[in-house]
Amino acid sequence: MAKLLLGTALVLLACLELGSAYRLVCYFTNWAQYRPGAGKYKPENIDPCLCTHLIYAFAGMKNNQITTYEWNDVILYHTFNGLKNKNGNLKTLLSVGGWNFGTQRFTAMVSSSGTRQVFINSVISFLHRYGFDGLDIDWEYPASRGSPPQDKYLYTVLVQEMMAAFEAEGRSTGRPRLLLSAAVAGGKSNIDSGYEIPELGKVFDFINVMTYDFFGPWSHTTGENSPLYPLPNSQSALNLELNVNYAMNYWKENGAPAEKLNVGFPTYGHTFRLSSSNTGVGAPASGPGPAGKYTRQAGFLSYYEICTFLKSATMKWNAPQVVPYAYKGNEWLGHDDVKSFRDKVEWLKNNNYGGAMVWDLALDDFSGTFCNQGPYPLINTLHTGLGISQVCVPSKTAVRLVVPPMQAPSGGGSSSSDGSGFCAGKANGVYADPKDKNKYYQCVNEVSYMKHCAAGLVFDPSCDCCSWV
């Protein structure tokens, strides 16, 4: 019996050390910091043990070089990448682009070998400077939205050259190779026009398919944000194509390895304004529902806002499409919930996909105060369903904080952002707080920014980093 118990214990230990075979990739958005009150979200709100990969959205581009976007990105990078001090297995990537970024700067950058090389060199330097493990490319979309047809081919060339440079840099320095991923379209027309799928499938470490926004307030009828399957008894091409199952199969059948594909999971829903007494899926609609209190965007609700909406709404389960919907007065909501996430995870595993991608961390009920389901109810459903290890081991090597010279964020001058005046007369850099070991100052052009190490960590001047006591 003792031998049996010992053997069982060893198997359990091995499973814990190996963790899940699946990825759980979660996006962080650097504009969530501007939401009011309980909706405000910053890197310190992230549970470092929740996801296997975190992607910071978004970086920008200037003169064919990757750049920061928000005034305080450098400060947020430190906290974001410092999460690896608490989870040594966590990988962090920086995403460049996004919907609002458009296509023009991508088109200019990929247009020649020289401009591509400028971008690639800037990426390698930038990622290492701030402690990221890789790059995520979110070009929406090659050869669409003003991007010319040749960008389909040039996108492939960029990706191939980027990976070759990552591999060469890793060999020459002895550092782990930087990771390369992409956020890609879930709609067939954008897939066909923008991607050489077999070639991309050979290069990317993983591919995040944006299997959401299939229907929204831009549609003339109500529809689900991320339905797993098409509506039955409808033969329209859009109905047959605009669903998770079709999009993922299309990527796989056209040459992307299933194990590299991550299924997109939205932690938000879309609202419509009904224009008739019909309240079902496909009912006539005349635009977006009202903006949420915290996300403040018409036709869009975070999951924590959805929970508030549902308290006074009629809820329905859309069994054929494996997602719920709800309505209240003339407002109609298509969304996901814990049940739909659980069902989709089982489908994901049955189809041998590599993992899940979440857009985004700040839209789940991250505080656990709105839905009475605990913190991050949707993402925790993925975490559990994918068998992500509950063991979160601190990094053996503290993440170093790097502070290059930069412009003062809001007009410069000698004013101190935290009122301390600590950085007056000091060079740009990171300094210990003489009164509190858990705090440190970031000095940028003599402006002071007080930062906190994560709980349980102290600032160590010998490495300019937060480390364990």
What lies within 8 Å, CB to CB, of 14 at 6+ separation is none
What lies within 8 Å, CB to CB, of 326 at 6+ separation is 309, 310, 313, 314, 315, 316, 332, 333, 335
Q: Which residue has the tokens 């003792």?
A: 2
The number of residues making up the chain comes to 469
The total of other beta-carbon atoms located within 10 Å of residue 177's CB is: 16
Q: Which amino acid is at 306?
A: I
Contact between residue 111 and residue 67 where contact means Cβ atoms under 8 Å apart: no
Q: Phi first, then psi: what are they for 196, rounded to 5°?
A: -90, 85
Nearest alpha-carbon partner for 357 in 323, 328, 386, 315? 386
The total of other beta-carbon atoms located within 10 Å of residue 372's CB is: 9
Q: Which of 70, 140, 199, 331 is catalytic?
A: 140
389 exposure class (CB count in 10 Å sphere: 0-12, 13-18, 19+): middle
Q: Catalytic residue at 140?
A: yes
CA distances from 38 to 33, 49, 136, 368 (A): 11, 22, 29, 11
239/243 Cα distance (integer angstroms): 8
What DSSP designation does 221 have?
B
Secondary structure tally for the chain: helices H, strands E: 12, 20
Contact between residue 311 and residue 277 where contact means Cβ atoms under 8 Å apart: no
304/377 Cα distance (integer angstroms): 10
Contact between residue 55 and residue 28 where contact means Cβ atoms under 8 Å apart: yes
41/37 Cα distance (integer angstroms): 9
Nearest alpha-carbon partner for 41 in 51, 27, 53, 52? 27
What lies within 8 Å, CB to CB, of 57 at 6+ separation is 27, 28, 29, 30, 95, 98, 136, 138, 360
Contact between residue 465 and residue 455 where contact means Cβ atoms under 8 Å apart: no
State the DSSP H helix or E strand holding residue 137, giving kind and residue range, or none if neither.
strand 134-138
244/248 Cα distance (integer angstroms): 6
Active site members: 140
